[in-house]
Chains A and B, each alone.
Chain A
Amino acid sequence: MPQLDQITISFVSQVVPLLIVLALIYLLARTMLPKVQATMDARARRVAGDLEAADKAHERADEIEEDYRAQINEARGEANTVTVEAKAKAASDAEARVAASDERLDAELAAAEAALAKQRDAALAEIEIVAVDAARDIVSRISGLSVAETEARNAVKEAMANG
Chain B
Amino acid sequence: MAQEEGGGGIDPMHQFQIEPMFGSWDPAGGSLAFTNSTLWMVFALVAVWLFMLGGMRRELVPGRWQMAVESVTGFIDDLLARNIGPEGKKYVPYIFTIFIFILFANLLGLAPVGVFGMHPFTVTSHILITGVMAIISFGIVLVVGFWRHKHRFFTLFVPHGTPLPMVPLLFVIELVSFLVRPFSLALRLFIAMTAGHVLLKVFASFFIQGMNAGPEMGLLVSLPSLLLMLFVSALEILICVIQAYVFALLSALYINDAVNLH
Question: Which A residues fall within an 8 A CB radius of B?
Answer: 1-4, 6-19, 21-22, 24-26, 28-30, 32-33, 35-40, 42-43, 46
Contacts and interface: CB of A to CB of B under 8 A. Distances in A.
Nearest to A26: B97
Contacts of A2: 13-14, 16-18
B48 interface: yes
Contacts of A6: 17-18
- Per DSSP, are chain A's interface residues mostly helix, strand or loop, or mixed? helix
Nearest to A29: B93
Given A11-B30, A36-B73, 11 more contacts: A4-B127, A9-B31, A10-B128, A12-B31, A13-B18, A13-B33, A18-B129, A18-B133, A29-B93, A29-B94, A29-B97
A22 B74 contact: no
Contacts, number: 128
Contact of A14 (B30, B58, B77, B128): B128
A26 B94 contact: yes
Given A29-B97, A35-B56, A46-B60, A13 B45 contact: no
A37 B66 CA distance: 12
A13 B128 CA distance: 11
B18 A36 contact: no
B91 to A, nearest CB: 11
B10 interface: no
Interface string B81-99: 0000000000011101110
A25 B100 contact: yes
Contacts of B77: 37
Nearest to B72: A36
A40 B74 CA distance: 9
Contacts of B194: 3
Given A13-B20, A15-B128, A18-B132, A32 B41 contact: no
B49 interface: yes
B14 to A, nearest CB: 8
Contacts of B74: 40
Contact of B32 (A3, A12, A29, A32): A12
